[in-house]
Amino acid sequence: MDPQRREALSEAVLMELAEMDYADFSLLEALKRAGLGMAEFEAEFSSLDECLFAEYDRLTSDLVSHSGAACGAEAEWPTRVRVGLSALLEELAARPRAAQVLIRKFPTIRPAAYERYARFLSDLAALLSDGRRYSGLEDDLPAEVELLAVGAAESLIFTQVDGGHAERLPEMLPEILFSILVPFIGPDRAADEMRNAAAVG
Amino acid sequence: MGVSGSTESIALPSDRSRLIEAMARSCAKRGYAETTIEDVVDDARLGRSDFDRHFASKEACAVEAVETILGKTMVVISAAYSADMSETESTLRGLRAILELFAARPALANLAMIHSRQMMPERGLAVYESGFAVLTAMLSRLRDNLGGEGEVPGVAARAAIGGAEAVVRRELLAGQARRLPQLLPDLVYSAAVALLGQDEAFALAQRARELQR
């Protein structure tokens, strides 16, 4: 399938899942949205589930790459986190239905789907790996400090997306940033970064 | 084995509790969406009429399962608090008791921590949020008691608990619920650092390690 048609299929599948529950998902409707025929779909995928899982993997992989790429390599670690987080929040705000699919509609399908969501969070946690060294407290911090930080942010993002308020995420950057940084550098330094983020924003 | 030496303290009719446990196991295995009432009654070794006698729907059974673990959580937290202990000590023992409860009841813990939040209808999320509010209140009491200072955003408590929950969910997904009590020091650190500072959070984590011995 050529990239443009693949992209159209991707968008159509995500929109259909955003609007319907999995049980009511209509592949025909999604293909109609994308301007594709069943034969073309079947040449690419053996089942709806294979397609949905592939699309979810693309969505999460793109989000992780987009956030990681935005960080840059030269700035101080908290600044890199801020820039990467900003990229993620802007993307979720710009694509609220994709955000709904990300945190609710897809994980709901079955445990194997939820596990993809958990893997996405682990992939984001890996982006924070430099924080331990930056903190100067490598051996003292919890073994799971990166996942603790991502989980903190996720709980705030989840509330907004699930409530249909993904558009608010960029303005919440300062407090979400605080929640990510605080287990690494403590509340005083995290508050400084929060204030800096508010000033930049 | 009871949780922290306690015995089962919420008495339920046998069939009802079997159905609730079966619902939790089925959701953990298949997910709520793909669990059928037939799956639940088969697992519970009961009949469809038994299910219909106790529950109006699949959702009603699942929501009651979440409420059951929430109720048990409240019981173990209450048992951990004592006028003879400091607020800090009570909070740490309360958190330990929750982890021990989840380790002992992994299917129900999965339902409460994963399914109710993201894999069930909205009523499940409402029950999850009420449990979340209990943990937030514990944290706020601890902060008030220890005199936490400094500028923290209003969402800090929610975020702190969210961080700890992410690690708990990961262990439940991996089928490692029995490891949950070992995570107490790290989860205490996560819960405390934003509201109390790193020094206090490290001290509380150390106290949590001592409690584990």
Same domain, A75 and A35: no
* Burial environment of residue B28 by CB neighbours within 10 A (0 to 12, 13 to 18, 19 or more): buried
Same domain, A179 and A124: yes
Q: Does a structural domain hold residue B41?
A: no
In terms of residue numbers, what domain contains A120? 48-200
Please give the Cα distance from A179 to A130 (Å, whole number): 16
Tell me which residue has tokens 């025929």: A37
Two structure tokens written together for B153? 């955003």
Positive or negative torsion for Cα A72, A76, A78, A82: negative
Given an 8 Å threshold on Cβ–Cβ distance, is A178 in contact with B152? yes
Per residue of chain B (213 residues), give pLDDT as tens: 334 444 444 545 699 999 999 999 999 999 999 999 999 999 999 999 999 999 999 999 999 999 999 999 999 999 998 889 888 899 999 999 999 999 999 999 999 999 999 999 889 999 999 998 988 888 888 888 877 667 788 899 999 999 999 999 999 999 999 999 999 999 999 999 999 999 999 999 999 999 988
Of B211, B194, B97, give the one whose Cα is nearest residue A145. Answer: B194
Which residues of chain A are within 8 Å of residue B185 when distances are taken between CB atoms? Answer: 142
Q: Does a structural domain hold residue B129?
A: yes
Q: Does a structural domain hold residue B164?
A: yes
Two structure tokens written together for A183? 């287990």
Q: Does a structural domain hold residue B12?
A: no
Q: Does a structural domain hold residue B105?
A: yes
Two structure tokens written together for A192? 């400084």
**B157 part of contact set with chain A, CB < 8 Å:** no
Same domain, A61 and A36: no
Given an 8 Å threshold on Cβ–Cβ distance, is A190 in contact with B161? no
Rg (CA), chain B: 18
Rounded to the nearest angstrom, the minimum Cα separation between A84 and chain B is 19
Same domain, A189 and A145: yes
Which residues of chain B are within 8 Å of residue A107 when distances are taken between CB atoms? Answer: 118-119
Of B93, B33, B83, B86, give the one whose Cα is nearest residue B58. Answer: B33
Same domain, A190 and A120: yes
Given an 8 Å threshold on Cβ–Cβ distance, is B158 in contact with A191? no
Same domain, A67 and A12: no
Same domain, A40 and A52: no
* Burial environment of residue B210 by CB neighbours within 10 A (0 to 12, 13 to 18, 19 or more): exposed
For chain A, what is the domain count? 2
- DSSP helix, strand, coil percent of chain B (3-state; round to 5): 80, 0, 20
Rounded to the nearest angstrom, the minimum Cα separation between B31 and chain A is 5
- Average predicted confidence (pLDDT) for chain A: 94
Same domain, A126 and A182: yes
Assign residue A64 the CATH number of its domain: 1.10.357
Of B98, B34, B21, B103, give the one whose Cα is nearest residue B64. Answer: B21
Q: Which of A110, A121, A152 sits opposite B33 (nearest CB)?
A: A110
Rounded to the nearest angstrom, the minimum Cα separation between B165 and chain A is 7
Q: Does a structural domain hold residue B111?
A: yes
Residue A110 backbone class (left: φ over 0; alpha: ψ -120 to 50; beta: rest): beta
Same domain, A7 and A54: no
Assign residue B169 the CATH number of its domain: 1.10.357
Given an 8 Å threshold on Cβ–Cβ distance, is B190 in contact with A187? no
Please indicate, yes or no, whether the overall pTM of this predicted structure exceeds 0.90.
yes
Which residues of chain A are within 8 Å of residue B153 when distances are taken between CB atoms? Answer: 174-175, 178-179, 194
Q: Which of A182, A185, A189 is the mutation pick for testing B, counting most B CBs within 10 A?
A: A182
Contacts of B78 (CB under 8 A, 6+ apart): none
Same domain, A70 and A152: yes
Given an 8 Å threshold on Cβ–Cβ distance, is A104 in contact with B118? yes
Given an 8 Å threshold on Cβ–Cβ distance, is A22 in contact with B189? no
Query: Read out DSSP for B43-89?
Result: HHT--HHHHHHH-SSHHHHHHHHHHHHHHHHHHHHHHH--TTS-HHH
Question: Beta-strand (E) ranges in chain A?
Answer: none
Q: Does a structural domain hold residue B126?
A: yes
pLDDT reported for residue A162: 93
Given an 8 Å threshold on Cβ–Cβ distance, is A114 in contact with B167? no
Average pLDDT over residues A168-179: 97
Given an 8 Å threshold on Cβ–Cβ distance, is A107 in contact with B156? no
Q: Does a structural domain hold residue B149?
A: yes
A166, A172, A173, A177 alpha-carbon torsion, rounded to 10°: -110
Of B98, B96, B91, give the one whose Cα is nearest residue B137. Answer: B91
Rounded to the nearest angstrom, the minimum Cα separation between B35 and chain A is 9
In terms of residue numbers, what domain contains B98? 63-212
For chain B, what is the domain count? 1
Instruction: Tell me the ipTM for this assembly.
Output: 0.92
Indicate the length of chain B as a whole number.
213
